[in-house]
Amino acid sequence: MRKKINMLREFSIPMIAGVIAALFWANLDPAGYQHFNRDPFLGGLNFHFITNELFMVFFFGIAAVEITQSCLPGGDINPPRKAVNPLLATMGGVLAPILVYFTLNRCIGSADFVNGWAIPTATDIALAWLTARLVFGNNHPVIAYLLLLAIADDAIGLAIIAIFYPDPAFPVQPLWLLLTVAGMTAGYLLRRCRFRNYWPYIILGGVPSWMGLHSAHLHPALALVFIVPFLPHSMKETKHLFEEDPDDFSTLARFESEWKIVVDFGLFMFGLANAGVQLTAIGTVTWLVFFSLLGGKTIGIFVMGCLGEKLGFALPDGMNYRDLLIAGIIAGIGFTVALFVAGEAFVDPAIQGTAKMGAMLSILAALLAVVLARILRIKKVG
């Protein structure tokens, strides 16, 4: 049973099942799907809010765990010099898709579509990880490189939402961010007092952080990102990103171990809440998003990764330019966070639907990566 559960998690089956369910429901009964997603579901909160504003807190909390562990001695980005090349590639993977989007929109789009420029900045962490393992094997250095890049540009994507996509009806109220600072202070004090249970950190730190972001009219999905680094952790990291260490019993490791399975299966909710677009919803924005993800990510990551190498910030040992090219293509899988951003970028349901279709079609980047890896004779490691 455990092997079957791990297989479902490894191949992102829950999220894919949620996407398929949403597509069928939205196309067979669009009114019913919208009522389910937007009408009060639990305690006056609708399903979309519960998923995107509450559940996604833990999704990005797990991402914060990985970054925190990677910064420890022995981690993938320690010493910091090791992180320079993937972070330069991240910059390329954010800026180039934006440039491609604006260029294409100027040629074939309209002013109504300008607001979608941030959608192709995102990379789907789970699907990128799965595709990279299929292409490179389990132990290739490109895995950690790509995951760091994906986590970083997703964080940038959420920051873009907070800064560039505020609700006009609810302007940003920065004073409320003092609550988030209070949550971080609580996390710091709990650590100083050597609390080993993660629940006080979640309740006394995470809740004020969430309330501060929400009340400031910024997206609260980042609430735990500010708290997770305060969780007590081991002094040294011996594993790569998303690899669990069975000998690590620290508070940070327990939080990841106990919540990662919830997040992995909870992504069914995310797919169900965000992927319900009609299959006829293909238009100009679909292609703007799709080609900006595929072309922009590939070009930006490859060029900036090569530039980092020339500047003296080397690619990880065992990773070459062919690997970097394939990593750029894989990063073009926008999906999860691209759907998330599309929901914030456009108010018009028709435009939003076509943008989401572009985000979902970006899954084709996985197929392209597999085929090109065969042509380039990429060898698996482990």
Q: Which fold has domain 2-166+218-375?
A: Na+/H+ antiporter like fold (1.20.1530)
CA distance 18 to 280: 19
**What does residue 40 show for φ and ψ, rounded to 5 degrees?**
-50, 130
Residue 5: per-residue pLDDT = 65
Q: Which pTM was predicted?
A: 0.82
Q: What are residue 46's DSSP bridge partners?
A: 40
What are the backbone dihedrals phi and psi of residue 198, each rounded to the nearest 5 degrees, phi first?
-75, -15
Task: Say how far apart CA 181 and CA 186 lie, in whole Å.
Answer: 9
Question: At 237, is the pLDDT very low, low, confident or very high (cuts 50, 70, 90)?
Answer: confident
User: What average pLDDT does the structure give for the chain?
Assistant: 89
pLDDT single digits (tens) 170-186: 778 889 999 999 999 99
pLDDT of residue 10: 66
Residue pair 273/47 in contact (Cβ under 8 Å)? The answer is yes
Task: Give the tens place of pLDDT for each residue, 116-129.
Answer: 999 999 898 878 88
Q: How many Å apart are CA 335 and CA 365, to the nearest integer?
A: 11
pLDDT, tens digit, for every residue of 5-57? 666 666 678 888 998 999 999 999 999 999 999 999 888 899 999 998 999 89
What residues contact residue 316 under an 8 Å CB cut-off, 6+ apart?
82, 85, 141, 142, 144, 145
Asked whether the bond before 79 is cis by omega within 30 degrees of 0, the reply is yes
CB 133 within 8 A of CB 370: no
Domain ranges of the chain: 2-166+218-375, 171-217
| Cα R_g (the chain), whole angstroms | 20
Residue whose tokens read 């072309």 = 295
